[in-house]
Amino acid sequence: MNVLKNILISGAALLTAFACDDGRDINNNEDADAVADADVDSYEGPTDNDYIVLSHTSRQVGSYGEDWCNAMIIDEKGNIYVAGHTDGQFSGSKHAGGMDALLIKWDANGTVAWIRQWGSEFDDRANDVVIDANGDIIVAGKTSGKLDGQKNYGHSDVFITRWTAAGDKIATVEWGTAEDDVGSALAVDKEGNIYVFGLTLGDFVGYTPETELGLYAFLYKLNADGTTGWVRQWGETGLYNNDIALDSNGYIVVSYGGGDIAKWTPEGNLIFMREPDIEMLPGGLAVNDAGEIFVTGSVRAAEGEVPDDSMLWLKRDAGGLLQWREHKEKYFRYEDGHGIALDETGNLYVGGHGGFYSDYKALLVKADRNGEIEWVQNWGTEDYSSTYVTEVAIDRDKSIVVAGTTGGDMDGNVNAGIYDIFLTFFPLN
């Protein structure tokens, strides 16, 4: 059944249940006690053995304008899908206006299979992409117009567009409040239920804000039959890099704000919310088969031996309690963690970028299951144009795939415009 075809979203269709149901665990300060027992030893600093040169190849594609990578996913056949946005025009596409939503498919050989660009007359951005059990590609994001003929509910709305693996559009749905709403992150379970995590300035559920101005998080479930399951909205949050993942039990884990973590059941019951022990901007989330949670990001405010604007990664147990936290000793003035992946043995691959002001380079860190660094890789363009990493994944051929955006010529490729989208492939072993 087409999940999106029969979705009807209106004010009457939204459930008015709020996150503070009975049984809510809001003992956010458990980390303050647990951090003393957690391993938060800092990395002593890069050595000649840490920064190694790994053999790698890159692919780069772009229009004449700015093309940005926001998310990446790899299917079982090794095909790679990147979601993003562009103000240019790709071959065979039409620029609708402002920024358009963008979806690019590379085959398992690293060759572009197709590119899809779509939008309204205003700004549209594809922020995340997932693949369901039928092999359909589902994209979520934000639109400021009437995307694919849908109704606009406010300033900017949430949208979902579903595509076949061949690049045929199945359907688009758009919904929102009377204010600004953004679909930031997306997950789909084995039954085809879709979870959209995002931000809103409005009111989905009769929520009374603590302050008159602020961004609030929402989590929206769309059932596999196309009906609304439930929606939850809660406290003031940050603007950047919200992420979502499902564990092996189908529980929904989200990271947001200054490094906060929350976990929900598929029925919409809150299991816990945890505040961070250090103020950070989250940049990536992963959950292993045991339900353990891994987060990467950048430090907002220096604490102890951890300097501000440094790249870090941490582990929480299935209950959300901090187990350890590590950070990379800074080489660049600014370093951010974006994207995290786990291999079969529990090693971590943390993506990011670092720079002094406008000359950012891509970063990739391999850490063992305890978070200790094994090596660091950095690469970029020869003309010092900035390169930004968005996502890290491991493909079927045991390659580490890094996706992002670059403003120059990377690894022998030629930049097509202002910013291009790139993939870089590293050997896993």
Report pLDDT digits (tens) over 199-218: 998 888 776 655 555 678 99
- Can you tell me the mean pLDDT for 359-376? 95
**What Rg, from alpha-carbon coordinates, does the chain have?**
20
Residue that wins the pLDDT comparison between 275 and 212: 275
User: Are 146 and 120 contacting, i.e. CB atoms less than 8 angstroms apart?
Assistant: yes
Confidence of residue 7 (pLDDT cuts 50, 70, 90): very low
Pairing between β-strand 57-61 and β-strand 348-355 as defined by DSSP bridges:
unpaired
Which residue is listed with tokens 């415009």?
Answer: 417
Of residues 353, 356, 343, the one with CA closest to residue 403: 353
- The mean pLDDT value for 40-55 works out to 53
Q: Which of 12-26, 354-368, 400-414 has the lowest mean pLDDT?
A: 12-26
Which pLDDT score, from 0 to 100, does residue 84 have?
Answer: 98
Could you give the 3-state DSSP secondary structure of residue 230?
strand
Q: How much is the average pLDDT of 232-244?
A: 78
pLDDT of residue 14: 28
Closest CA to 149 of 118, 127, 180: 118
Amino acid in the structure at residue 5: K
The model carries a pTM of 0.88
CATH architecture for residues 11-427: 6 Propeller (2.120)
Kindly indicate the confidence band of residue 237, based on its pLDDT and cuts at 50, 70 and 90.
low
In the chain, % of residues over pLDDT 90? 71
Bigger pLDDT: 51 vs 110: 110
Residue range 290-321, pLDDT digits in tens: 999 999 999 977 777 788 899 999 999 999 99
For residue 54, the model assigns a pLDDT of 84
Predicted local confidence at residue 343, as pLDDT: 95
Residue 133 DSSP label: T
For range 190-196, the mean pLDDT: 97
Mean pLDDT value across the chain: 86
pLDDT in tens, 118-174: 999 999 999 999 999 999 999 999 999 999 999 999 899 999 999 999 999 999 999
| Sign of torsion over alpha carbons 164, 166, 168, 169 | positive
Give percent of the chain with pLDDT exceeding 70: 84
Q: Residues 262-271: what's their mean pLDDT?
A: 97
Closest CA to 103 of 115, 111, 91: 115
What is the amino acid identity at position 29? Answer: N
Confidence at residue 37, expressed as pLDDT on a 0 to 100 scale: 41
User: pLDDT tens for residues 60-118?
Assistant: 999 999 999 999 999 999 999 999 999 999 999 999 999 999 999 999 999 999 999 99
pLDDT at 238 (0 to 100): 64
| Nearest-angstrom CA–CA distance, 5 and 88 | 29
pLDDT-wise least confident of 56-65, 271-280, 418-427: 271-280
CB atoms within 10 A of CB 77: 11
